[in-house]
């Protein structure tokens, strides 16, 4: 069945470091891909999305490119801040009649000053 695999966490970086969180997926057809973020004490919120191959989603300095050939959607940011500390979830939607999300296991990011 459809699935999403993320790199293991936690990831600990110093402020202004470069961030990559790997995400690969398995799905029949061409799903839509998402990154959701959960800040401490809050609910999940959409960070960015891409709906077709080679699309780049971007928001708040984060970027991810939909790579069909490698079935990947890696999250990147050039310079992280302490406020980026959160849990990041990669997810896909394939069953378009319901829009149900299939999530990866989440990657915890801790940014130290």
Partner 1 sequence: GAGVSQSPRYKVTKRGQDVALRCDPISGHVSLYWYRQALGQGPEFLTYFNYEAQQDKSGLPNDRFSAERPEGSISTLTIQRTEQRDSAMYRCASSPERGGFSAEQFFGPGTRLTVL
Q: Interface with partner 1 by CB under 8 A: which residues? A: 4, 32, 36, 42-46, 49, 51, 89, 91, 93, 95-106
43 CB contacts (<8 Å, ≥6 apart)?
none
Q: Which helix (H) or strand (E) holds 108?
A: strand 107-112
Indicate the residue among 29 and 113 with the shorter CB distance to partner 1.
29
Find the shortest distance in angstroms from Cβ 25 to partner 1.
12
Find the shortest distance in angstroms from Cβ 64 to partner 1.
14
The distance from CA 3 to its chain's CA centroid, rounded to whole angstroms, is 14
Indicate the residue among 40 and 113 with the shorter CB distance to partner 1.
40
With contact defined as beta carbons under 8 Å apart, do 35 and 22 qualify?
no
């Amino acid at each position: 069945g459809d699935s999403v695999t993320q790199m293991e966490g936690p990831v600990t970086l110093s402020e202004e470091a470069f961030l990559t969180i790997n995400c690969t997926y398995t799905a029949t057809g061409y799903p839509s891909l998402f990154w959701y973020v959960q800040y401490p004490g809050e609910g999940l919120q959409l960070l960015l999305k891409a709906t077709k191959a080679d699309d780049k989603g971007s928001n708040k300095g984060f970027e991810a490119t939909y790579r069909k050939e490698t079935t990947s959607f890696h999250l990147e940011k050039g310079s992280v801040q302490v406020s980026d500390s959160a849990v990041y979830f990669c997810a896909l939607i394939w069953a378009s009649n319901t829009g149900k999300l299939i999530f990866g296991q989440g990657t915890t990011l801790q940014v130290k000053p």
